[in-house]
Amino acid sequence: MGSSIIAIDPGGTTGIATFSYNTRLWHTFQIPYDPIRLYEFFASMLDNAHDSASLLDTVTVICESFDYRPVGKYNFGGNRSIPKVDLIPRNVIGILELACAYAKQEIIWQKPSCVNGDDGSKSGDPNVFWTNDRLTMLGLYKRSQIHAMDATKHILYYRAFTKKEEYLFHALRPGKSTAFEEGMR
């Protein structure tokens, strides 16, 4: 039995990561915001994933949820008393929800803080396990794909903390005895 996981980091530049248990390969990419192009991409991605899966295989879709945070420490820059909200991630989520509804595909939601920390800084938060440094240790980090790396972290978070794949933790040990057998394309 095999399966694949697809993760989406929605935004003006939407990050996407996929992992296949069958091939042990990762793919990452980013797509600029264009509603029609995103819908066509999501629909095609789900069709391809379902077409290549056998009856025993599964496709898991993970998406970073949208948190409305109008003021306070999350309002990066500008006047903190005036809401500064980017609604493009919510639009991308709506497009994904539509494509998943047609494909009869469930979405697993994860909070942004799983990969970015509670303050959104993307670094230095001790509550974030999957950091860029750890992605680098596994050979998965691509510096030019910030949003795709967030999607990669969502998959790793799901595999490590929901599916309890302890092998991922062992692969991070110094002098690791367990080789990390996954590769990035």
CATH number of the domain residue 13 falls in:
3.30.420.10
- In sequence order, the 6+-apart residues with CB closer than 8 A to the CB of 119 are 73, 74, 125
Token pair, residue 131, equals 């950091």
The pLDDT assigned to 172 comes to 84
What whole-number distance in Å separates Cα of residue 112 and Cα of residue 101? 23
Pairwise CA distance, residues 9 & 93, whole Å = 9
Burial class (CB in 10 A: 0-12, 13-18, 19+), 168: buried
pLDDT in tens, the chain (185 residues): 458 999 999 999 999 999 999 889 999 999 999 999 999 999 998 887 777 665 556 899 999 999 776 555 555 555 555 556 778 999 999 999 999 999 999 999 999 888 876 555 555 667 788 989 889 888 899 999 999 999 999 999 999 999 999 888 888 877 654 557 786 66
d(CA 121, CA 74): 9
Predicted local distance difference test score (pLDDT) of residue 1: 41
- What's the domain count of the chain? 1
Parent domain of 137: 3-184
